[in-house]
Amino acid sequence: MTAIPQGRTRRAALVSAMCALVVGMGAGCAEDPDAGTNGVGKLPAEQIQAKTRTAAGSVDAVRLSGAVVTSGRTYKLDMRLKADGGTGSVTAQGATFHLLRVGEELYLKADAAFWNHEDGKSDSDTAAAEKLDGKYVKVPTGDPSYKKFSVFTDKDLLLDGLLTLHGSVKTDGHHEQSGVRTIRITGDGGHGGTLDVSLEGEPYPLRLVRAGGAGTLSFSAWGKDFALEEPAKGETVDYGKQLPTS
């Protein structure tokens, strides 16, 4: 067996000792967390935020799921959105309904219990609710429900309102969401919200924790198109200028 020169042994031992010392001090011999990424993890937080907003606005489709708290009410969302509309489910106050918007046309589909959940309704009201069971009800543009629910189907409006961190924006380390490496940025130390931004491929937002406990949302299927069509006439009910009271 060939003997290893003592000088080489001493150098190897010295390198090992230096690495142990550096690691003990909380720094380097570890793998670079930004190696092989899109590089945004090395940028200042303000630039990361700007890049993720640009990336989100540059594609036509996204899936959004999670909870949004607004005006004291929690809405659980599972929506697919693109430039000309969106489709998916919304749950609020224990009731789940389906939203579909194609262009300016907004439809709401729910079961009879959704339309007839109030006590004291007459038999005629109950009969009307049963006729709406599982049907797409066209929401008139002048009805208060149109503005209230159409926002959940508007990709640009929804993302513009959501992808905003409040207060001083800073980075908060490297993380992972659904197997994808991320860089996290926070507003006001987390009190103004936190946003995980993908370090793989485009810097899309992947997870948002809204300020003030106003909900947590996940984003996926960026740029993946999907079919968006108006329901068949046999599946639709048009109530004219005002929806029935729900």
Q: Which parts of the chain have pLDDT scores under 70?
A: 1-30, 117-128, 239-246
pLDDT per residue as tens digits for the range 111-129: 888 887 644 455 445 666 7
40-238, which class in CATH?
A: mainly beta
* pLDDT, position 21: 53
* pLDDT, position 239: 66
* pLDDT, position 4: 42
Residue 53 CB partners (closer than 8 Å, separation 6+) = 159, 163
Q: What is the domain partition of the chain in residue ranges?
A: 40-238
**pTM above 0.85?**
no
